[in-house]
Amino acid sequence: MRKHPECGVIITGDFNQLRDNFMKTHYRFVQVVNVVTRGQAILDKIWTNMEEVYTPPVTISELGSSDHNMVLLKPKAKNSVDTGCVTRLIVRCMGPKEKATFNMVLSAIKWEPLFRLDSCADQYSYYQTVICNLMEICFPTKIVTRHMADKPWVTDWFRDLVRKRQRAHMSGDLNQAKILRNKVNRVASKLKYNFYQTQIAAMQESGSHDWWKHLKTIMGLKTNGKSCMQGLANKTTDGDCGLLANTINDFFVSVSDHLLRLNKSHKVFDVNEELPDQYVISVCTTFKALENVKDNKATGPDNIPAWVLRNYANVLAPPLTAIFNNSLREGVLPMEWKMANLIPLPKSSPHVSIENDIRPISLTPINSCQGV
């Protein structure tokens, strides 16, 4: 059980004098026989850790000269077993070969056309187009399958390795199948060890709320697949989640709808004037800001990942510096940097009111705050 905690176990027999409480307390087994098997007592028991895949046991007549009833345990119908949910996702191919190509092409880009543009908006549009087009070319998308029953340490590379092992076995190449089987076992052990070591280290540095989150991940506890907003939709919009989304959007807009808009004609500096030295952002400052970007930071509406900004800070610092300084000179911000992916999160549970129990969490483009 320690070596293979995910395996299914069934223990049956005559438990007339055997003390079996340790099975429940130490191994979390469940005793599924709830009908008498001899006289008025339950002596013939079945302990298992996968009771959900079997129907309740029934007793039938004795066998031969035995005075114990036989216990019949049947598996449920195949279509009634919860096998999890299979989803298909669109992901980018970001292997070492693709990243090497991206690095080579990005390093060869000449940014002189961007420097010659006068408008901050035009500069950012040029920058955004170059980066996004380059990512579409170097990192093509593909459709992958994800199974909800997959272990948390399973990676795409491990899935491909398992598929190769299966193909070798089905084709009759037993020698190759044996080699791949051993490799799969070694990789699985390494992935599991690294995953759980990382989770345990994270638990030691986290607070009580995150501690339970990491603990549930380690134990493989499933979360409720229902939307946390479904209850609020049932109370406010008769279960219509689409109408609830529009209602939440209208409420968030109304919070700042009464504020006066800025006067666009007011400029801090004249367009033709040079910026004072204390307001000029240097390439070195931008480079240091990009180097400090966290790799795991979520991508904003601009679709430029954080690892691109961090890993290629030396290439992207000059064009971004030009955009930042031009933005200060014009007194405007590119429209794309004002956009955000807004996610409504409940402040309390249960949440019954949009006005009092929902707060907005905004995910903005990473570039919009790097010039600060």
pLDDT of residue 180: 94
- Choose the most confident range, by mean pLDDT, from 37-51, 76-90, 345-359: 37-51
* Separation of first and last alpha carbons in the chain: 55
Q: Does 298 score more than 60 pLDDT?
A: yes
Question: Which whole number is the average pLDDT over 97-116?
Answer: 92
- Complete DSSP assignment for 115-136: HT---HHHHHHHHHHHHHHHHH
pLDDT of residue 175: 92
Taking the alpha carbons of 80, 85, 88, 92 in that order, is the dihedral positive or negative? negative
pLDDT of residue 371: 46
Which of residues 41 and 218 earns the better pLDDT score? 41
The region of weakest confidence among 73-87, 93-107, 286-300 is 73-87
Q: Which two tokens stand for residue 300?
A: 């904003």
Please write the tens of the pLDDT for every residue from 275-290. 677 778 899 999 999 9
Please write the tens of the pLDDT for every residue from 238-266. 878 888 888 888 888 888 888 877 666 65
Which of residues 255 and 207 earns the better pLDDT score? 255
pLDDT of residue 80: 47
Determine the Cα–Cα distance for residues 228 and 224; give it in Å rounded to an integer.
Answer: 9
Closest CA to 255 of 168, 334, 358: 358
Q: Does 33 score more than 70 pLDDT?
A: yes
Closest CA to 224 of 148, 116, 118: 148
Please write the tens of the pLDDT for every residue from 107-137. 999 999 999 998 889 999 999 999 999 999 9
Closest CA to 111 of 134, 78, 138: 134
pLDDT of residue 266: 56
Q: Does 40 score more than 90 pLDDT?
A: no
Q: Which two tokens stand for residue 270?
A: 């004249």
**Percentage of the chain with pLDDT > 90?**
22
pLDDT of residue 228: 63
pLDDT of residue 209: 67
Q: Does 32 score more than 80 pLDDT?
A: yes
Helix (H) or strand (E) holding 22: helix 21-27
Q: Flag whether the pTM goes above 0.85.
A: no
Q: Where are the alpha helices (DSSP H) in 150-240?
A: 156-170, 174-204, 208-219, 230-236
